[in-house]
Amino acid sequence: MTAIDSGRRSDRLDHARRLAESGDLDGAAAIFAELAADEDAPDRGEAGEGLSVVVERMAERLLEDGEPERAADVLLEALSVSAVADPARLRVLLGMAHLEMACAQFAGAVEDSRQEGADAGTGALAIELLARTLPLRGRDADAETVWRYGLDHPDPALAEQVLLRLGRDVRPPMEAGAAG
């Protein structure tokens, strides 16, 4: 590699930073990913750090905008680059995106359980899973609403199953010394 090649790489890294600062996170991520994937790049580590920061911002924004599928896609693509910095943080964000997608599926199942002849067990399970997942995303009030919906459901069999599910402790038993 010549000094000119090295200068071009630094120019590209600087260009990616400017794109990120101006709000073009997609453009910045593309450049950072390309540079971070190049095992011979002298600035591979910096590019991996840039990629991590930009993708984290993108994913958080997409989650806030209610686009968990897109957030998951962006995160998976970044995690496929071995030089990406802070993969643990990106994996947590990926898990959050999957929780949002799970909540949407559970809510859809709750809606489906309103149909005539719907299986009460499936409806109760969907209500429980949705109500237990929502607090993981900081949505305690929504979880309470879901439980209330299930307990007040017009199908007495479903309401009874929801009551049983609400009362059960889903935490694994822990030994006294394990918590300390």
Please write the tens of the pLDDT for every residue from 157-169: 999 999 999 988 7
b/e burial code for range 138-172 (CB count within 10 A of at least 16 → b): ebeebbeebbeebeebebeebbebbeebeeeeeee
pLDDT tens digit string along 104-129? 999 999 999 888 888 999 999 999 99
